[in-house]
Chains A and B, each alone.
Chain A
């Protein structure tokens, strides 16, 4: 699958919470401007892996990694890498929509503001652009200065995506972004992911097999901290080479 460049890759990655080894010798590469889905039963380490990709686990006491994670060929756990710079490049969307208890506008421009950008016109322009990208602009343009908490769950999640887009990352990580949403909102987000992959590299964790099938180009199946199988989504879903993958996607366990 050398169609595209490799954007992100893990090489022999082990991750530990204290003594507990949550990821075991993971080697995987994620294509640029494609959607990679992580699937697997609960507790198998999908979130842990996703959160090592932008170093969100740094704040957990006792968490450590071995091995390399390369973004554009550079090790993100290198001492010279600044975490804030990394996260400008690798954005993240969470399972539960988590808008800040501020206005819609403040939510979208937060990432820019903390970079020191103050120019109002620039911020407004950036806000409109990312809200348009997430198809939220028409819905919220008249209430930009109202609380983001008043939006519906689906709108909040699209706001969180807009917020991540505003700082122009090249990779977006999504941890079960639709599991807290209704079917219509879910469909909108999936549509959005489909659009976004023209410009962004997307990694998504999902428990929904249909969703993985619909949105992703490649799929990785994890089990108990190991990467069991990785390949084209079509292949994984039609003719997986591993029995455990087969059992999982046909719903026989997990």
Chain B
């Protein structure tokens, strides 16, 4: 066997190995999805989506859970979007590059890696106790905002950084101020990237149970929250609650709720991918 034959064999071997590795991930995901779908799909009907929680599995629904999730999604967006984008813009466009901004930069990246339950504890202390907001939607949204702020800041900065300096130069040279340049040139050009980052961050927030349990979100909420100060539950907590019951019927409920949660997450991710592709098509520098 010649040397090049050997190399070709190695090449083939690695390809087979690579396909195998890829398949492991896919197969696990597929098995999981199929299992959940078989168990839960039959349980999803209009009544399941519109019923209040109940002690009796057959009558229980996820109305309050998905309403809570939707509330949380909206509130978290309202809080985290302006804060995160402003911070990102400030750090990238305004802050002078010195030790302080370096320090901030490193620590924001570090914050993105802090376990979510720690944010729950922080939210518990600040929002629930100090600010007296209790286990309300607002506490939950504020806590989740803290959790995803670092992600939004980092992705905002990346998106802004990708806007070429020549665009800024062009704007300044026409007499634009820094703010006008950011508002008219930098943000529009990076908006797709920023939005993608926010949506991915939100899809992470939607799946969180731990920090919300810590701040006192309840599994059993017999009404749809009507204001940000109401108590609430969310899909992940509902799922957690049902999976910890021994009865088979509740596990089926959990599977059905998981399908709904996955649906929301995939939807958000789909939107993010769509926006990114659209942006790439629109702007090629």
Encode A78-112 as 1/0 by CB contact (under 8 A) with B: 00000011011001101010111110000000110
Let me know if B171 and A110 touch, CB within 8 A.
yes
Query: Which residues in chain B, 174-218, are within 8 Å of chain A measured between CB atoms?
Result: 174-177, 180, 184-185, 188-189
Bound together, the chains give a CA A87 to CA B170 distance in angstroms of 11
Residue of A whose beta carbon sits closest to that of B164: A98
A187 contacts chain B at the CB level, 8 A cutoff: no
Q: Which of A191-223 contact B (CB under 8 A)?
A: none
Contact, CB under 8 Å: B175 / A98: no
Let me know if B189 and A114 touch, CB within 8 A: no
Contacting residue for B175 out of A61, A100, A114, CB 8 A:
A114
Check if A56 sits within 8 Å of B172, measured CB to CB: yes
Closest 7 CB pairs of A and B: A111-B174, A98-B166, A92-B173, A87-B175, A84-B175, A98-B170, A88-B175
Any chain A CB within 8 A of the CB of B169?
yes
Within the complex, what minimum Cβ distance (angstroms) separates A54 from chain B? 7
- Pairs across A and B, CB under 8 Å, 7 listed: A56-B169, A85-B175, A98-B169, A101-B188, A110-B174, A110-B184, A163-B170
Q: What is the number of residues of chain A that contact chain B, defined by CB distance less than 8 Å?
A: 27
Q: Is the CB of B96 within 8 A of A101?
A: no
Query: Chain B contacts of A163 at CB under 8 A?
Result: 170, 174
| Interface status of B6 (Cβ within 8 A of chain A) | no
> Distance in Å from the Cβ of B95 to the closest Cβ of chain A?
11
Best-buried of B169, B175, B188 by chain A (most CB within 10 Å): B175
Closest to B283 in A: A101
The verdict on A101 contacting B184 (CB below 8 Å), with A61-B97, A114-B175 known, is: no
The smallest C-beta distance from A10 to any residue of chain B, in angstroms, reads 19
B282 on the interface (CB 8 Å rule)?
Answer: yes
Alpha-carbon distance between A87 and B164 when the two chains are bound, in angstroms:
21
Residues of A with C-beta under 8 A to B180:
114
List of A residues within 8 angstroms of B171 by Cβ: 100, 110
B58 touches A (CB below 8 Å): no
Q: Does A149 sit within 8 A of B, measured CB to CB?
A: yes
- B184 x A149 contact (CB < 8 A): no
Are A164 and B175 closer than 8 Å at their CB atoms? no
Give Cα A102 to B174, complex, Å. Answer: 15
B176 close to A100 (CB less than 8 A)? no
Q: Does A71 belong to the interface (CB within 8 Å)?
A: no
Whether B174 lies near A167 (C-beta < 8 A) is yes
Residue of A nearest to B96 (CB): A61
Q: Say if the beta carbon of A160 comes within 8 Å of chain B.
A: yes
B184 contacts A114, CB within 8 Å? yes
Judge if B55 is at the interface, Cβ distance under 8 Å. no
Q: Which B residues lie within 8 Å of A99 (CB)?
A: 170
Whether the pair A87, B284 counts as a contact (CB closer than 8 A) is no
Task: Report if B74 contacts A (CB, 8 A).
Answer: no
The answer to whether the Cβ of A152 comes within 8 Å of any Cβ in the partner chain is: no
Interface string of B89-117 (1 = CB under 8 A from A): 00000001100000000000000000000
Q: Evaluate contact between A101 and B282: CB separation under 8 angstroms.
A: yes
In the complex with contacts A61-B96, A61-B97, A94-B175 CB distance below 8 A = no
- Complex interface: chain B residues within 8 A of A98 (CB): 164, 166-167, 169-170
A247 within 8 A of B: no
Give the interface centre of A54, A87, A110, A160 by most chain B CB atoms within 10 Å: A110
For A153-186 the 0/1 string (1 means CB < 8 A from B) is 0000000100110010000000000000000000
What's the least CB distance linking A34 to chain B, in Å?
21
Residues of B within 8 A of A87 (CB): 172-175
Tell me whether B173 and A56 are in contact (CB under 8 A).
yes
A96 to B169, CA, bound (A): 11
A92 (CB) vs chain B CBs: closest residue: B173
Contact flags (1/0) for B48-92 with A, using CB distance below 8 Å? 000000000000000000000000000000000000000000000
B176 near A164 with CB under 8 A, answer: no
How close is A106's CB to chain B, nearest CB, in angstroms?
A: 9
C-alpha gap A96/B170 in the complex (Å): 11
CB-nearest residue of chain A to B174: A111
* Closest chain B CB from A243 CB (angstroms): 36
Q: Judge whether A164 and B282 touch: CB under 8 Å.
A: no
**Is the CB of A115 closer than 8 A to any CB of chain B?**
yes
**Nearest-Cβ distance from residue A90 to partner chain B, whole angstroms:** 9
| Interface contact A84-B177, CB-CB below 8 Å | yes
Say whether A94 contacts B170, CB under 8 Å. yes
- A129 nearest CB across to chain B (Å): 16
Taking CB atoms, residues of chain B closer than 8 Å to A160 are 170
